[in-house]
Amino acid sequence: MAIFKGSGVALVTPMKENGQINYDALEALIEDQLANHTDAFIICGTTGEAPTLEDDEHLEAIGRSVEIIKGRAPVIAGTGSNNTAHAVMMSEESEKLGADAVLLVTPYYNKTTQDGLYAHYRTIAAGTKLPCIIYNVPSRTGTNILPPTMARLARDTENIVAIKEASGNISQVAELAATDAFRDGCFDIYSGNDDQVIPICSLGGIGVISVLADVAPRQTHDMVSLYLEGKTKEALDIQLRANELCKALFCEVNPIPVKAGLNMQGFNVGSPRLPLVEMTDAGKERLRKAMVEFGVL
């Protein structure tokens, strides 16, 4: 059974001026997302600035999110690491806090081989009963989990149940969807790129883990739900209209633009932590224009 179908928001982590997590702003964001039909919440992923969160605040953000959401949508905790033992620990702790699943990015910097990826993910999955989503984003990690490796993991590991595919390579996604493991229902595919939601759904994907959903939750939900209902023309129209906003949200390093966009919308999510910095004035102007054109500002 799928963890979710539709739009899962890769939620930002709001910060106060002193750099601490702003839990009042987090609650406001979550309630707005739920009111706009977001189907799942990814807490403390890349967009949530996990690399600069200490373990205690990382886990507190996950626990607080679980408490706020109260079972109204799945909570998927970002617990991936390039240190396998650390990912195991974070996944175990997230399970205790009530998370519904974990998102596990491919190892970055030290990287590994395909056999190493297999061993890494098998070890993490053995440490938790939670469903595991593998996150493939080679542009950020330098590691690409190939379709045969993902298929092998899904067949051999009961709780590895999905992949967030952000390679940007549609041919690779097609190869992934052509594996026997996918066709036998061993795992689901989620788009990890907002500009490829409909193309990936056309290959059998069931949703998106989305940055766009932070600033356009209703539209992102509708795009996927319309497609899954067979209303492909209407879904494609949203995808194409969102194109400029998707580009603007990544014209500087994520989550710099999306935090700027949420601040424009009045959510007071603060600035990103160093080494990320505030968006440039030129970037803000581009983002503001795209948000106005898409009807979210």
Give catalytic residue positions. Answer: 135, 164
Q: Who contacts 119 (Cβ-Cβ below 8 Å, separation ≥6)?
A: none
**Maximum Cα–Cα distance for the chain, whole Å?**
51
Residue 132 pairs with which residues in a beta bridge?
102, 160
